[in-house]
Amino acid sequence: MAKKLVSVLRGTPSWPPPLWLMRQAGRYLAEYRALRARAGDFITLCTTPDLAAEVTLQPVRRFGMDGAILFSDILILPWALGYGLRFADGEGPVLPRWQPEDTAGLDLRRLEGALAPVMEAIARVRAGLGEDTALIGFAGAPFTVACYMIEGGGSKDHARTRAVAYREPRDFENLLAVLTEATITSLSLQIEAGAEAVMLFDSWAGVLPPSLFRHYVANPAARIKSALGKQFPEVPVIGFPRLAGGQLGLYAAISGVDAVGMDTATDPALAAALVAAPVALQGNLDPVALLAGGAPMIAEVRRILAALRGRAHVFNLGHGILPETPPAHVAELIALVRSGGETA
Ligand code: CP3
């Protein structure tokens, strides 16, 4: 029998809904901070199989979520293609600022070898997971990975990326095409290594106008879902076009993904109307409500559960857990969702 998380992602509703949390492994956990200090560098943590597997399992062991998400990062993909990457303390990721001629240097042949430690981590996580917990693999969507490459790191408005998309569409499309193929390879390898569902994080999808959204967000997701669907028809794909708002319906229809992630700003009732069943919905508690805890958190959780009752719904946050979140609030959240919103 399929694990509950997987069957809901494939469109079968379940009450109370299964749950996992974006960034469920990370700095809010003392055991993560200890292991991170031991590894020294974040990339070392992601590419040392024992450490990456242990960090993946930490939150599941502590809280018993229905899903474990592989501990890695969306920027490990360009790193594996030979593109520079470092994580500066307190500054986030730093990459070389992409120029059109850099696309030719992205080496798809390096991928399998460079990602081998990640696949080994996946195999170890699977060996350490209970029968009811599903392992989720992931990648950044091509557009969001391109944003980090073109900006050379994070950005408030991604103006440089959008300027490239308008002024140099051929160069931009070439970059996205290479990243799309690399994403298909990475996700296929993750599934072969043991991932039971995969998620595509398009964190910056919402900075694009509708015309570009279709080309650079929905179409690459369609290409990725179609390639994975041929090889692994039973493995659900979750698409998360963050801040895409009213375009969620178009995204679901064009991409063919099995489930759509809702960000914090999305009204779950509106998402349920825009995204046709049996496509599942995932989300979308405000991570700040989790940080705050107590009565406001309880009210938000009940509102989300009520809006999606009867739909295939995976409970999650609307974005990643904040590092300041008290772990006790996570335990309370899980008990609350597991009781269908009744306890507390
Ligand atoms: O638990 C999980 O969700 C799995 C692991 C995971 C990480 N990053 C670990 C991480 C996942 C799924 C990601 C996705 C990711 N990474 C996204 C998409 C989701 C989103 O947040 O929008 C993006 C945009 C990135 C890029 C990235 N990685 C940034 C901007 C940063 C710096 C910001 C920060 O939180 O420090 C990272 C670093 C990172 N990735 C950390 C973790 C736990 C913190 C590293 C540390 O320990 O210092």
Residue 344 covered by a domain: no
Please give the DSSP secondary-structure letter assigned to residue 341.
T
Give pLDDT tens digits for 292-335: 999 999 999 999 999 999 999 999 999 999 999 999 999 999 99
- State the distance from the centre of ligand 1 to the C-alpha of 216, rounded, in angstroms: 22
Q: Does the pLDDT at position 343 exceed 80?
A: no
Q: Which two tokens stand for residue 106?
A: 């992205």
Looking at residue 173, its pLDDT comes to 98
Length of the chain in residues, anyone?
A: 344
At 222, give phi and psi (nearest 5°).
-65, -45
- Give the Cα separation of 263 and 260 in Å (integer): 10
Does the residue 75 lie in any domain? yes
Distance separating alpha carbons of residues 42 and 88, to the nearest angstrom: 9
Q: Is 23 in the pocket of ligand 1 (CB under 6 A)?
A: yes
Q: Looking at residue 137, which CATH number applies to its domain?
A: 3.20.20.210
Distance CA 326, CA 132 (A): 26
Instruction: Please give the single-letter amino acid code of residue 106.
Output: L
Domain hosting residue 150, numbered range: 4-338
**Is residue 27 in contact with ligand 1, taking CB distance under 6 Å?**
yes
Question: What is the band of 216 on the pLDDT scale with cuts at 50, 70, 90?
Answer: very high
pLDDT in tens, 136-166: 999 999 999 999 999 999 999 999 999 999 9
What is the Å distance from ligand 1's center to 312 Cα?
27
Ligand 1 centroid – CA 73 distance (Å): 6
**For residue 300, how far is its CA from the centre of ligand 1 (angstroms)?**
25
Going by pLDDT thresholds of 50, 70 and 90, the confidence category of residue 272 is very high
Nearest residue (by CA) to ligand 1, atom 41, is 26
| Any atom of ligand 1 within 6 Å of the Cβ of 323 | no
pLDDT-based confidence at residue 222 (cuts at 50, 70, 90): very high
Residue closest via CA to ligand 1's atom 39 equals: 73
Give dist(CA 7, CA 121) in Å, integer. 24
Indicate the number of domains in the chain: 1
Average pLDDT of the chain is 97
Question: For ligand 1, is residue 79 a contact (CB within 6 Å)?
Answer: no
Asked if residue 343 is part of any domain, the answer here is no
pTM for this model (two decimals): 0.97
Angle separating helix axes 169-193 and 219-231, nearest 10 degrees:
30
Residue 344 has pLDDT above 70, yes or no: no
Q: Tokens for 328?
A: 């006790």
pLDDT for 1 equals 75
Phi-psi region of 152 (alpha: psi -120 to 50; beta: other; left: phi over 0): left
Which residue's C-alpha comes closest to atom 36 of ligand 1? 92
Q: Whose CA is nearest to atom 11 of ligand 1?
A: 73
State the DSSP H helix or E strand holding residue 317, giving kind and residue range, or none if neither. strand 313-317
- Using most ligand atoms within 8 A of CB, pick from 19, 42, 45, 73 the residue to mutate for ligand 1: 73
162 lines ligand 1 (CB under 6 A): no
Tell whether ligand 1 has an atom less than 6 A from the beta carbon of residue 83: no
**Structure token pair of residue 340:** 């269908």
The closest of 325, 330, 316, 317 to 5, measured between CA atoms, is 316
The closest residue, in CA terms, to atom 8 on ligand 1 is 73
The Å distance, Cα 59 to ligand 1 centre, comes to 15
- Report d(CA 197, CA 316) in Å as an integer: 15
CA of 167 to the centre of ligand 1 (A): 30
Q: How far apart are CA 191 and CA 175, in angstroms?
A: 24
Alpha helices of the chain — where are they, by DSSP H? 4-9, 30-39, 42-47, 49-63, 76-80, 111-114, 116-128, 142-151, 159-167, 169-193, 210-213, 219-231, 248-255, 268-274, 287-292, 294-308, 327-338
pLDDT at position 90 over 90 = no
* pLDDT score for 260: 98
Give the distance (Å) from ligand 1 centre to CA of residue 225.
Answer: 23
Q: Is 154 in the pocket of ligand 1 (CB under 6 A)?
A: yes
Cα–Cα dist 67/70, whole Å: 10
Q: Is the CB–ligand 1 distance for residue 341 below 6 Å?
A: no
Closest CA to 255 of 228, 226, 221: 221
Ligand 1 atom with the smallest distance to the CA of 203 is: 22
Between 284 and 90, the higher pLDDT residue: 284
The residues annotated with a catalytic role in the active site are: 23, 27, 36, 73, 148
